[in-house]
Structure 1
Amino acid sequence: MKVSLLLLVSILSAHTLAARAPVEEIPVNGQQQNGGQQNGTLINQQQTEMFYQLQSLLEEVRQLRGMVEELTYQVDELKQRQQDDYLDLDRRISAAGSAVGVPGAEQPAPGVGQPTLPVAGDDEKQLYGRAQSLLKAKQFDDASAAFENHIASYPSGKLVANSHYWLGQIYMVKGNLDKARQAFAQVVEKYPGSNKALDSALKLGRVYHLQGDNAKARDLLEKVAAGNTEVSQQARDYIDANL
């Protein structure tokens, strides 16, 4: 009887423990596959989004590169136009200078009513631009006065070397070699870093030659001729033809 009772208690206890034990659900193979597919879809969406972002950035880079190329072209074109204007002006001054002293040659008349003195409110570029306009019109007397006024008004200006150079050109046209020599020497000695320094050295060498000082002329022109610029070639040509 006791054995039967103990056996019954053991069976009931085992049944109770089995009822209280937690039950774990084992996922079905289909559920695992669905989760993997969702993860794969998410990764593909992220990769696609990154690809389109990369394409967008590349397109922006191409557009910026095109803008840079266009701006570079415009800057080069502006530089070339300025160079052409300078060469044209230099040729006109030289041509006028070759006519000085020739019987019957037409001499440039001074301008009438053209302002040569500084105007209130003028900045350096405006004053220098006015002098250049007079020079282009071959109004040499007014132009020289305007360049001298520019130098006096802006003795430390950025364009002072240019004014000295053009004064030298004007004095050569008018046959005043002493003043031409002084003007070109100002640029060579005081403004060696100016974009007019090499041109001034070439013209100064020519002035020395015209004044009969061939030793100074050759020494200076040979220094100019040592370079690889157009002005250097002009110096070599002048030496070959005259010295």
Structure 2
Amino acid sequence: MSRTLFIADLHLSAGRPDITAAFLRFMQEEANQADALYVLGDLFEFSIGDDEPSALNDEVAAAFKACAEQGTPVYFIHGNRDFMVGRRFAREAGMRLLPEHQVIDLYGEPTLIMHGDTLCIDDAGYQRYRRITRWGWLQWLFLRLPLSRRMGIADGIRSKSAQSKEVKVMQVMDVNQAEVERQMRRYKVRSLIHGHTHRPAIHQLYIEDEPAQRIVLGDWYTQDSVLVVTPKGVELQSRTLPAG
């Protein structure tokens, strides 16, 4: 049966081999049988550039490459943790980098896909941080720092992010409904798929008095979360992570 798969927010890291094992199992047993695989950001816990010497990155790239070579195209949208993933990694992984907002034809339904952080406009501090870190000249300078320096900066950002989440109310970190509707009207779609908030759900709404849906992908901290889309409908699925 025709099906397209969507994943996001795996936050792969050397410290969570169980998530890596679940990802590799998914790639070997499911992804290679799909019409396409879309990764909607935060694949990695953090990325400091394609030149990072990482066995994990190599393993992930090889898994994507094998999937693509078996006939399943792989598409990637940057998240707020892995926006430094570049063309070199994409080439080695055999995947295509997409812009932050992309409309795809999903079995006849125009569908907007994104990471989802741009919808969280109530978090003004994060949106300011996001704008700054996307400046091309700043990324250019960052990539020219020694690897050890970049790793130190990444550790600092992770620490500050964790502290910030502890004091923010949940509503601020979630999407803004008016922004959701604005983006869907802008791209003329009635279907939106995103991640980022770690709140898997299928939300029903109305756009221009027409029924619409917003599908939120889950994270992989305690389970693996996959959206399966077929010509007959959509299903959010989850599986238990491997023990150990």
What TM-score bracket applies, with the shorter chain setting the length? under 0.3
Q: TM-score, normalised by structure 1?
A: 0.23
More strand by share: 2
Return the index of the structure with the highest Cα Rg.
1
Q: Which has the higher contact order (CA 8 A, sep 6+)?
A: 2
